[in-house]
């Protein structure tokens, strides 16, 4: 399993696409936080925080994560190496987990350079270091869980098709629906008390909750449950393979 995990990471980083994907993430977040005259611009806000990053990153993740996961199984099927993959002394779930953890690892690598923003804002604070560190680390934790959920969705969609572009598009759509559709339904106020339950089925509600710096076990259980559901569906898809 570990060798397959390393193989996935090396395969992604050995292609120019991998560096482009991560580079685009860093460039976009940097532009929105420091250059573009929008509400999230740190210099315009006048506050020593990087909350803008946690408002922008989920939107960028909608495209970044599917770009990372789209090749997981789709490329294997298209090139015909999927049969060789199943000759490994690994179960279907171990194969899925190796590819999933590789995707999460790559997502974490993409986030590490954003620590530069923390140091910069820390120095810009008045007095120096005047930052809400608890809320900031809570937001990073929420972003990690968000990326982990999007990765599970992307891996699942990659088992559905042998076309990477199709896997990317449908991953983006499904991630978007899981992110905002439940809030959209809740906004109509037609379900009464049930509306709050529907709202809590969406990712954004739990992401916003954990980003406040309060780690609620209900949010953790929600994220882990969604991850397990999509990885299990990926396993069912592999078990019903007809290629």
Provide the residue ranges of all domains of the chain, joining segments of one domain with +: 2-239
pLDDT tens for each residue of 118-152: 888 877 767 776 677 777 888 889 899 999 999 99
Quick one: how far is CA 198 from the chain centroid? 22
Confidence band of 96 (pLDDT split at 50, 70, 90): very high
Quick one: how far is CA 138 from the chain centroid? 16
Report residue 162 as tokens: 């042998």
CB 222 within 8 A of CB 208: no
Residue 167: which of 180, 179, 181, 153 has the closest Cα?
153
pLDDT tens for each residue of 166-220: 999 999 999 999 888 777 776 677 767 776 677 778 888 888 888 777 778 888 9
Residue 61: which of 142, 138, 162 has the closest Cα?
142
CB 234 within 8 A of CB 155: yes
Residue 115, C-beta contacts closer than 8 angstroms, at least 6 positions apart? none
State the pTM of this model: 0.88
CA distances in angstroms from 140 to 116, 122, 146, listed in the order given: 14, 16, 10
């Amino acid at each position: 399993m570990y060798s397959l995990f390393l193989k996935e990471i090396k395969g992604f980083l050995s292609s120019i696409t991998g560096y482009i994907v991560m580079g685009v993430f860093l460039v976009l977040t940097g532009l929105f936080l420091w250059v573009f005259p929008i509400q999230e611009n740190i210099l315009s806000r006048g506050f020593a925080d990087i909350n803008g990053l946690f408002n922008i990153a989920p939107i960028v993740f909608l495209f970044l994560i599917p770009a990372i996961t789209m090749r997981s199984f789709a490329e294997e099927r298209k090139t015909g190496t999927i049969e060789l993959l199943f000759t490994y002394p690994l179960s279907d779930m171990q194969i899925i987990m190796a590819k999933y953890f590789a995707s999460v690892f790559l997502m974490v690598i993409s986030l590490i350079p954003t620590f530069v923003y923390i140091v910069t804002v820390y120095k810009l604070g008045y007095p120096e270091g005047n930052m809400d560190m608890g809320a900031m680390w809570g937001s990073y934790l929420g972003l990690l869980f968000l990326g982990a959920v999007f990765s599970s969705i992307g891996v699942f969609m990659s088992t559905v098709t042998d076309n990477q572009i199709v896997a990317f598009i449908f991953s983006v759509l499904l991630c978007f629906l899981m992110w905002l559709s439940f809030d959209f339904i809740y906004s109509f106020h037609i379900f009464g008390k049930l509306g709050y339950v529907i709202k809590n089925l969406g990712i954004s509600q739990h992401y916003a909750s954990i980003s406040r710096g309060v780690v609620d076990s209900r949010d953790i259980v929600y994220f882990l449950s969604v991850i397990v559901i999509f990885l299990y569906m990926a396993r069912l898809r592999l078990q019903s393979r007809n290629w």
